[in-house]
């Protein structure tokens, strides 16, 4: 019951059942795992929010987040946290899965499709509010993280931390300047296996890293 309470809102029922069946529960003190981290953020959120009243902004986000989180859970990912209008998801934790990179890319492609459908919903729901566009950016990176309960004695959060998280976040931040929806690191593409449909490629400089990072635009993923 404790495991269901801890993860039930953030991971799919399938993941919870796998954890219960394997009895390999996440270490409360923290452990190192290889995962794929996904960040998705609304581009130009401030001007979009200025078109709406505060209550309408909340309504929009409450309609948007379920559409984003559904593909995450369907692919066995974990909704790690909400940061303003951004979502961080982790694939490969708390339940270890060997194909976490592929699952994350499939999720990213589905989220990109959902965003186009969400624009139609926005324009219908807030007709006359001059909402012309709705765009998102997605960043993904595969690597090692530390997962566990992090925080204070009175407020702990099960989360993932490390350079992998930082890189995924920064790749998402680059999506606007690159003009891509999905920006994935070379590590994620290689880990995902065959069938990834690639668009443009680039080498980018990231804060805190001496060497450029190879990134690729993901258009689709085929079985």
Q: What is the pTM of this model?
A: 0.88
- In this prediction, residue 16 has a pLDDT band, given cuts at 50, 70 and 90, of low
CATH number at residue 97: 3.30.70.1230
Provide the domain limits for residue 30.
2-221
Domain count for the chain: 1
In tens, the pLDDT along 62-106 reads 999 999 999 999 999 989 899 999 999 999 988 788 999 999 999
Beta-sheet pairing, 86-91 with 182-185 = unpaired
The pairs formed by 66-71 with CB atoms below 8 angstroms and a separation of 24 or more are 67/114, 67/117, 67/118, 68/40, 68/111, 68/114, 70/114, 71/106, 71/107, 71/110, 71/111, 71/114
Give the residue-averaged pLDDT of 196-205: 95
- In this prediction, residue 1 has a pLDDT band, given cuts at 50, 70 and 90, of very low
């Amino acid at each position: 019951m404790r495991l269901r309470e801890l993860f039930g809102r953030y991971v799919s029922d399938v993941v919870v059942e796998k954890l219960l069946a394997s009895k390999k529960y996440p270490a409360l003190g923290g452990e190192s795992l290889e995962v794929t981290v996904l960040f998705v953020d609304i581009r130009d959120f401030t001007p979009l929010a200025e078109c709406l009243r505060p209550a309408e902004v909340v309504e929009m986000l409450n309609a948007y987040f379920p559409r984003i989180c559904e593909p995450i859970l369907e692919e066995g990912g974990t909704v790690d946290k909400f940061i303003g209008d951004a979502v961080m998801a982790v694939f490969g934790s708390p339940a270890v899965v060997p194909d976490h990179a592929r699952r994350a890319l499939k999720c990213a492609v589905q989220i990109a499709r959902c965003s186009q459908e969400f624009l139609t919903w926005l324009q219908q729901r807030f007709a006359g509010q001059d909402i012309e566009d709705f765009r998102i950016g997605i960043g993904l990176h595969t690597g090692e993280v530390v997962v566990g309960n992090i925080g204070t004695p009175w407020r702990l959060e099960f989360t993932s931390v490390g350079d992998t998280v930082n890189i995924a976040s920064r790749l998402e931040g680059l999506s606007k300047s690159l003009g891509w929806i999905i920006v994935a690191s070379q590590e994620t593409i290689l880990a995902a296996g065959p069938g990834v449909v690639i668009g443009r490629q680039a080498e980018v400089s990231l804060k805190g890293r001496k060497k450029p990072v190879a990134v690729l635009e993901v258009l689709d993923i085929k079985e």
